[in-house]
Chains A and B, each alone.
Chain A
Amino acid sequence: MISPKLVEVGRHLNIELLTMTELMSLEGEEGNFTARVLQHPRYVDISKCTSCGECAKVCPIDLSDEYNKGLSTRKAAHKRYAQAIPGAYAISKRGTAPCKATCPAHVSIQGYVALINEGKYREALELFKEAHPFPAICGRVCHHPCEGICTRGDVEEPIAIQYLHRFIADRDLADEARYVPEVPEEREEKVAVVGSGPAGLSAAYFLRLQGYRVTVFEKLPVVGGMMAVGIPEYRLPRDVLAAEIDVIRDMGVEIRTRVAFGRDITHEGLQEEGYKALFLATGLHLSRRLNVEGEDAGHVLKGVDFLRDVALGREVSLGRKVIVVGGGNVAIDVALTARRKGAGEVTLVCLEKREEMPAWDYEIQDALDEGVKIVNSLGPRKFLVENGDVSGVEFKRCTAVFDEKGAFNPSYDEEDLTTIEADTVIVAIGQAADLAFAENERIAVSRWGGLEADRLTLETPIKGVFAGGDALYGPKSVVEAVECGKDAAESIHRYLQGQDLREGREKEWTYEKPSIDQEPYRPRTKMRVVPPAERGNDFREIALGFEEEEARREASRCLKCGLCSECYQCVKACLAGAVVHDQEAVEREIRVGSVILCPGNGAFDPGPYEDFYHYESHPNILTSPEFERILSASGPTMGHLARPSDEKEPKKIAWLQCVGSRDTHHCDNSYCSAVCCMYAVKEAVIAKEHSNEPLDTAIFFMDMRTFGKDYEKYYDRARDEHGVRFVRSRIHSIDPIPGSDDLLISYSDEAGLIHEERFDMVVLSVGLEVKADTIELAQRLGVDLNEHNFAATHPLAPIATSREGVFACGIFQGPKDIPSSVVEASAAASAASRLLAEVRDTETKSLEIPEERDVTDEEPRIGVFVCNCGINIAGVVDVPAVTEYAASLPGVVFADNNLFTCSQDTQESIKETIKEKGLNRIVVASCSPRTHEPLFQETLQACGLNKYLFEMANIRDQDSWVHGDEPDTATEKAKDLVRMAVARAGLLKPLGEKKIPINRRALVIGGGVAGMTAALGLAGQGFETVIVEKEDRLGGLCRDLTSTIEGADLRRYVEELSEQVTEHEKIQVLTNSLVVGFGGFKGNFTTEVLVGPAMYERKIDHGVVILATGAVEYEPTEFSYGTDDRIMTQIALSKRIEKQGADDLRQVVMIQCVGSRNDENPNCSRICCQSAIKNAIHIKESNPEADVFILYRDIRMYGLLEEYYRKARALGVLFFRYSKDDPPRVEPSEEGVKVIFKDHVLQRDVLINADLLALSTGMRAQDTEELATIVKVTRNPEGYFLEAHVKLRPVDMAAEGVFVCGTAHGPKLVTESIAQAMAAASRATTFLSQPEITLSAVTAVVDQERCAACLVCVRSCPFGVPKINEDGVSEIDEALCHGCGICAAECPAKAIELNWYEDEQLMSKVDSLLEGVM
């Protein structure tokens, strides 16, 4: 139903859709606002996305599906729903995942974890390597700050991120076909890198990925820098190191060892060899000295040198007792290496306290595990020397390592000395750069003795020379060197391409952590290690890696903090190149004349009231929006009725009404949400239809509020025909039944008795409430809200907000149903249109329809598009088989099927296909032409095909929907229908449409509030308007009313409105006038009016007509009305109170539903509850002593009216319910009007002697029988005009150009009539603002040769169009003809044919159907 409208909005030339957008501020004033909007990134380019869904297929991230209310999952790359407009996919992100943001190299950690979780190990590795060349190396040696920030760590322990990338890298190392990143076409430029440590190699790797020719020069005989000669082999096996470096070689990077910069090569020399840039990453390969007495004695070693010597296999001689001086990671490595090299006892001594030690905690733990003794807070005073060799160290106590400013500046207690004996001491207190080359090469040196370069661009003072790594910034980890190398590569690339080195480089990495409240505890998978006792003197690796199962288990612990994991699989999958992961939010300023606010709202969340509702904890307690999805064919259960706990079909379902509405006990929503009663009844009826077994449905309610037009009949049918049970009750508790998935509802009935009943499933009929972000929006815009946070509006200006030029409609204005929302939406449009009438057509665009392709001489080339309609068709009919069959039919040159043929992306693909295949006739096999034909016809027109070269086969409504039990025969029938459609399509001819001018005058029939408001809405935009009123003055029923329940003065309002209308230059009022004749067609009507009192006849030409004939108060025949002055209607009572007050009243009784909700008039009159309560409040306020009794069946104070019901009760108005079959008895007597009724609480009769009895009589439609015949419009059985569509066209009549508003449409309040009148004006404006109208080409044509003037057509036409012309034959005015075809069918001479439904075309369908049968 909404789908064609979605497409219309999506396709409209003058509607610009700004999705994922928020209105941030609104400056200026009505007519001239500047709106500032913030458009959040979609990460998909709408203009490129074809909606193919390939991105979602490869997306590894499952998220809760908001569309299905969390009852199913969707991918991070998603489309909100199948028919969504725009059809483009979107990617959900929540910043960047904390792990990626924190990783110095910004590896897409969540991405590879997600891919591991899906078993896509190779893809995971490829992703890692996009950001980092050493997954195996860092999988062993990284200090993994990512794990420190991991949200899982807030639950119990972080994900083993490091071990997981080691896992994917190790798998690759073991694979015969190792992954070698693809190098693009090689560039000319050569780049030299000095130093083969992680910084230098990374720079080489990323430069190579850009296609540069790179040579790495290494001074040492081995490649890898500190990875090779610093990190001990037991932590990083050399074969692993070599393997990852080999990949860089395989990519085409040349690595030369034993080449020293400044000695073997020079900058100048390199330039001469054609190197265009140079990157220096020479590392820190010298040890710092202590500068303490005896430091140069024998067996005093330098930490860095010691590690390098061991790594290079050089001889090192250690004694039995070794002291390592230093507290950093190098010191730990030295200590553990010393142990492996035969030291019997290793003592690590450092200045810092244990918690201050710069070494990573896990490294310290490793050292302790292996028996290294750690002594803290000691600093060497002197080395003790015997025979030239060290024999021990004398330490002094370190009292503080850092000074007050936090700088490294140790202070000592020189008196507190400790001596430790040793035969070897290794000093590992820090590293220094070996910059022997600097002077000759004129390389700048920094203050601390490292390389000097810009920290962002890494550029040194010499152009084209860059520096990085430890030599630039001091000792750091491998991953930091990787990032530095990557930055260097980017700088060098920009330098070589002549780009700005700085632009856009300072990216801020932000993240947001998800809530972990509900997160279950899942322990981290421990990596297996060689136990410390088994770690001998060899250098075997300690950590053993993950098995596949362990890795999968670990990966599944990820909390998906960033939503999208940035695994970039979608980028690869998207052939259209539409995915843009670095899209950013865009701010825009837009100038507009008016703003309409309809941000909707949210459903009440019962979650916070768990003690009562058990909604969060019990799977079988659902909210109504969730149940709506369960019923839906596109929902989580594909429309199969199943309860979540066990997916079994429920046999008993309960609905609990007023959850989050009319409730100040569990929440603060005292208002009624106005829609829940109806949707609950509907859900119960539909659930019964969906159920295979008999389903028991019970609705627990306080008042059944089915107050809308024809709603009461729906309620009656649900109860009487479908057997839905309605239980008037108060819910006491909802309790899970132990040992089952069922629920026990205990409730009290009207008499206060407690009952219990067991249900399989409970639906909470949750109310509507305004969302927090809507409240913020209103505050930003300066729009006032009422006490319930709905937009504050006035009862006589229902869509105007507190800010001029800003209008509110829909649920934001107050709780309401769809028709009322649509009415208000049109009303708001009318208000904006009136405000901006002078600038109409100044900013719109117009469409050029391409010239029509002449197909007259072409053979039919038919294209058939078969629709799956989700599962609506495909769930029954074998769509591929039908498609295949269609392709085999004569004339068909193309056939395909689509998930939803009506979706916007499919329209585009149909257009493409028409052009590509040269199609000239189109058949769509889907649903009803009634709803979808115009959509497809537009698609034809857009590619130059006449729109009448189109045919539909309805294989849904007429097939899959009605033959659900017989899929095979349904498929055969679909084939028959398609064959028939194809047969007719082959005979279709192009038809021309006629354009005729529109008469821009409006006629309004009825001069009450609705008619006058509609007239002002049109005249205010400059359209001439004529009001025809049958009475002698304007005002209608409203003249009898005093005030609205809110207190707005209706007398004055009607006076002022009449005055405005009478004085308006564009409005002509004809009172005492009657419509006696009506003719013409949309845009060009002529109405004959008898204008009194002289009753002269007038003809009025006009383009549209608005029916606003109103209603009257029902004059009762029941309850002794008319026999006693003390019995009166509510209108009479309000006049009486106005005139006489209520001081003399002691007891007043009111009886509701008089003349409504009965057999004669089954509908609810909507207004009477509020009339009664309004009068009751007036009485109580002026005379609190008076007793007011309201005898009701259901109190229907819907929406915000509920406040007045509460007020009346607070004032002491007494409410007693009576039932339809036991109405009160009324006996007028001298003491008073005796009213006797049964009290349901006391279960006995009560008698009241009333001074006054007010009957709440509701409404009756005006007698419009004759008018309806003249204007040829339909009415419902109660005499109210029947709108074109209850939900979506609530003010349009079926005949185009005819509209309805006010109580002529159905009973309603003045406020509602005003909104509807404005809506009618808006709908009429869509006609009147156009200069011309295009007529359908589907009209009847008379073959005058054959016409025998038999008058059959003249008599049969329901619109009176055929006339016998001067030539004595029938003639049909194509502008008047409705194209119904009756005349064509009736004409005995076959002289009339209906365009597009020619005999030949129709017969071809019949012949084709009976093919092979007859």
Chain B
Amino acid sequence: MSEKQYKKSGSVMVVGGGIAGMQSALDLANSGYYVYLVEQSSAIGGIMSELDKTFPTNDCAM
């Protein structure tokens, strides 16, 4: 397809790989978009991956 026809890009960049970035990325990737998930550190997961349990269910964060 020509560039002109698709002036818009069907990709989205998500900056930050914490739980919010992961959710945005998954929703978009599951809705027909290609996602670049940009993360500053060496792994995604953000603050949530550093938590032990979470309220109010006391589920293990990991």
Chain A residues within CB distance 8 Å of chain B: 1-3, 5-6, 8-10, 12-23, 31-33, 35, 37, 42, 67, 69, 79-81, 83-86, 90, 590-600, 625, 628-629, 631-635, 639, 678-679, 681-682, 685-686, 708, 710-711, 713-714, 773, 777, 809-812, 818, 821-822, 824-826, 828-830, 832-833, 835-836, 838-845, 1286-1288, 1322-1323, 1325-1326, 1329
A-B interface, 3 closest residue pairs, ranked by CB to CB distance from nearest: A810-B20, A84-B43, A829-B27
Q: Can you list 6 A-B pairs with a CB-CB distance of less than 8 A?
A: A9-B22, A32-B7, A35-B13, A79-B42, A84-B43, A681-B55
Chain A residues within an 8 Å CB radius of B17: 9, 17, 19
Residue of A nearest to B62 (CB): A3
Residue of B nearest to A687 (CB): B52
Candidate in B18, B21, B56 with the most chain A CB atoms within 10 angstroms: B56
Given A3-B62, A681-B55, A838-B8, the answer on whether A832 and B33 have CB atoms closer than 8 Å is: yes
Q: Whole-angstrom distance between the alpha carbons of A825 and B19 in the complex?
A: 8
Structural contact, B43 and A9, CB atoms closer than 8 A = no
Residue of A nearest to B8 (CB): A31
Structural contact, B10 and A629, CB atoms closer than 8 A = no
Structural contact, A840 and B32, CB atoms closer than 8 A = yes
Q: Whole-angstrom distance between the alpha carbons of A17 and B56 in the complex?
A: 31
Given A1-B54, A22-B40, A42-B42, the answer on whether A843 and B15 have CB atoms closer than 8 Å is: no
Q: Whole-angstrom distance between the alpha carbons of A20 and B9 in the complex?
A: 24
Q: Whole-angstrom distance between the alpha carbons of A37 and B50 in the complex?
A: 26
Shortest A929–chain B CB gap in Å is: 16
Chain A residues within an 8 Å CB radius of B8: 31-32, 593, 835-836, 838-839
Chain B residues within an 8 Å CB radius of A14: 29, 33-35
Q: Whole-angstrom distance between the alpha carbons of A842 and B9 in the complex?
A: 8
Shortest B45–chain A CB gap in Å is: 6
Q: Whole-angstrom distance between the alpha carbons of A1323 and B24 in the complex?
A: 10
Chain B residues within an 8 Å CB radius of A593: 8-12, 33
Candidate in B7, B49, B61 with the most chain A CB atoms within 10 angstroms: B49
Residue of B nearest to A90 (CB): B42
Structural contact, A821 and B24, CB atoms closer than 8 A = no
Q: Whole-angstrom distance between the alpha carbons of A69 and B20 in the complex?
A: 21
Structural contact, A685 and B32, CB atoms closer than 8 A = no
Q: Whole-angstrom distance between the alpha carbons of A1282 and B23 in the complex?
A: 20
Q: Whole-angstrom distance between the alpha carbons of A1325 and B29 in the complex?
A: 11
Q: Whole-angstrom distance between the alpha carbons of A79 and B44 in the complex?
A: 11
Shortest B20–chain A CB gap in Å is: 3
Structural contact, B35 and A16, CB atoms closer than 8 A = yes
User: In the complex, which of the residues A20, A67, A90, A818 contacts B54, with contact meaning CB atoms closer than 8 Å?
Assistant: A818
Given A15-B29, A593-B10, A600-B46, the answer on whether A80 and B56 have CB atoms closer than 8 Å is: no
Structural contact, A590 and B40, CB atoms closer than 8 A = no
Structural contact, A710 and B12, CB atoms closer than 8 A = no
Chain B residues within an 8 Å CB radius of A842: 1, 6, 10
Known: A599-B15, A809-B24, A825-B21. 13 other contacts (CB 8 A): A1-B62, A14-B29, A42-B42, A592-B9, A596-B21, A639-B52, A682-B54, A829-B24, A829-B27, A830-B27, A838-B8, A839-B10, A1325-B31
Shortest B59–chain A CB gap in Å is: 5
Q: Whole-angstrom distance between the alpha carbons of A829 and B18 in the complex?
A: 15
Structural contact, B33 and A686, CB atoms closer than 8 A = no
Q: Whole-angstrom distance between the alpha carbons of A11 and B47 in the complex?
A: 21
Structural contact, B58 and A19, CB atoms closer than 8 A = no
Shortest B11–chain A CB gap in Å is: 5
User: In the complex, which of the residues A5, A632, A682 contacts B26, with contact meaning CB atoms closer than 8 Å?
Assistant: A5
User: In the complex, which of the residues B36, B54, B57 contacts A592, with contact meaning CB atoms closer than 8 Å?
Assistant: B36
Chain A residues within an 8 Å CB radius of B13: 23, 33, 35, 590, 592, 594-596
Structural contact, B40 and A20, CB atoms closer than 8 A = yes
User: In the complex, which of the residues A20, A22, A809 contacts B20, with contact meaning CB atoms closer than 8 Å?
Assistant: A809
User: In the complex, which of the residues A31, A598, A773 contacts B7, with contact meaning CB atoms closer than 8 Å?
Assistant: A31
Structural contact, B49 and A2, CB atoms closer than 8 A = yes
User: In the complex, which of the residues A21, A69, A1323 contacts B40, with contact meaning CB atoms closer than 8 Å?
Assistant: A21
Chain B residues within CB distance 8 Å of chain A: 1, 6-62
User: In the complex, which of the residues B1, B7, B27, B32 contacts A826, with contact meaning CB atoms closer than 8 Å?
Assistant: B27
Chain B residues within an 8 Å CB radius of A824: 20
Structural contact, A843 and B34, CB atoms closer than 8 A = yes
Chain A residues within an 8 Å CB radius of B58: 682, 685-686
Chain A residues within an 8 Å CB radius of B34: 14, 16, 843-845
Given A23-B15, A810-B18, the answer on whether A67 and B50 have CB atoms closer than 8 Å is: yes
Structural contact, A1 and B33, CB atoms closer than 8 A = no
Given A634-B62, A839-B6, the answer on whether A20 and B42 have CB atoms closer than 8 Å is: yes
Chain B residues within an 8 Å CB radius of A812: 16
User: In the complex, which of the residues B14, B21, B33, B43 contacts A86, with contact meaning CB atoms closer than 8 Å?
Assistant: B43
Structural contact, A85 and B44, CB atoms closer than 8 A = yes
User: In the complex, which of the residues A18, A86, A1329 contacts B32, with contact meaning CB atoms closer than 8 Å?
Assistant: A1329
Q: Whole-angstrom distance between the alpha carbons of A841 and B38 in the complex?
A: 21
Shortest A458–chain B CB gap in Å is: 40
Q: Whole-angstrom distance between the alpha carbons of A1131 and B5 in the complex?
A: 51
Given A18-B36, A839-B10, A842-B6, the answer on whether A829 and B28 have CB atoms closer than 8 Å is: yes
Residue of B nearest to A1324 (CB): B31
Structural contact, B37 and A600, CB atoms closer than 8 A = no
Chain B residues within an 8 Å CB radius of A681: 55
Residue of B nearest to A682 (CB): B55
Structural contact, A836 and B27, CB atoms closer than 8 A = no
Structural contact, A1323 and B27, CB atoms closer than 8 A = yes
Q: Whole-angstrom distance between the alpha carbons of A900 and B25 in the complex?
A: 24
Residue of B nearest to A708 (CB): B56
Structural contact, A6 and B27, CB atoms closer than 8 A = no
Shortest A225–chain B CB gap in Å is: 48
Q: Whole-angstrom distance between the alpha carbons of A711 and B58 in the complex?
A: 12
Structural contact, B24 and A828, CB atoms closer than 8 A = yes
Q: Whole-angstrom distance between the alpha carbons of A9 and B29 in the complex?
A: 9
Chain B residues within an 8 Å CB radius of A811: 20
Shortest A928–chain B CB gap in Å is: 11
Residue of B nearest to A34 (CB): B9
Structural contact, B19 and A843, CB atoms closer than 8 A = no
Chain B residues within an 8 Å CB radius of A22: 38, 40
Shortest B62–chain A CB gap in Å is: 5
Candidate in A42, A714, A822 with the most chain B CB atoms within 10 angstroms: A822
Q: Whole-angstrom distance between the alpha carbons of A606 and B44 in the complex?
A: 26
Structural contact, A590 and B36, CB atoms closer than 8 A = yes
Structural contact, B31 and A1287, CB atoms closer than 8 A = no
User: In the complex, which of the residues B10, B16, B24, B60 contacts A843, with contact meaning CB atoms closer than 8 Å?
Assistant: B10
Q: Whole-angstrom distance between the alpha carbons of A633 and B60 in the complex?
A: 10
Structural contact, A599 and B16, CB atoms closer than 8 A = yes
Chain B residues within an 8 Å CB radius of A67: 50
Structural contact, A714 and B55, CB atoms closer than 8 A = yes
Structural contact, A15 and B45, CB atoms closer than 8 A = no
Chain A residues within an 8 Å CB radius of B15: 23, 595-599, 777
Chain B residues within an 8 Å CB radius of A686: 52-53, 58
Structural contact, A628 and B50, CB atoms closer than 8 A = yes
Structural contact, A80 and B31, CB atoms closer than 8 A = no
Chain B residues within an 8 Å CB radius of A830: 27
Structural contact, A1286 and B57, CB atoms closer than 8 A = yes
Q: Whole-angstrom distance between the alpha carbons of A811 and B53 in the complex?
A: 19
Shortest A699–chain B CB gap in Å is: 13
Structural contact, A15 and B37, CB atoms closer than 8 A = yes
Q: Whole-angstrom distance between the alpha carbons of A1258 and B36 in the complex?
A: 42
Structural contact, B23 and A829, CB atoms closer than 8 A = yes
Q: Whole-angstrom distance between the alpha carbons of A159 and B35 in the complex?
A: 49
Given A1-B62, A686-B58, A839-B6, the answer on whether A19 and B24 have CB atoms closer than 8 Å is: no
Structural contact, A5 and B22, CB atoms closer than 8 A = yes
Shortest A684–chain B CB gap in Å is: 11
Shortest B7–chain A CB gap in Å is: 6
Shortest B10–chain A CB gap in Å is: 4
Shortest A678–chain B CB gap in Å is: 5
User: In the complex, which of the residues B11, B20, B38 contacts A825, with contact meaning CB atoms closer than 8 Å?
Assistant: B20
Chain B residues within an 8 Å CB radius of A713: 56
Q: Whole-angstrom distance between the alpha carbons of A67 and B48 in the complex?
A: 11
Q: Whole-angstrom distance between the alpha carbons of A16 and B28 in the complex?
A: 12
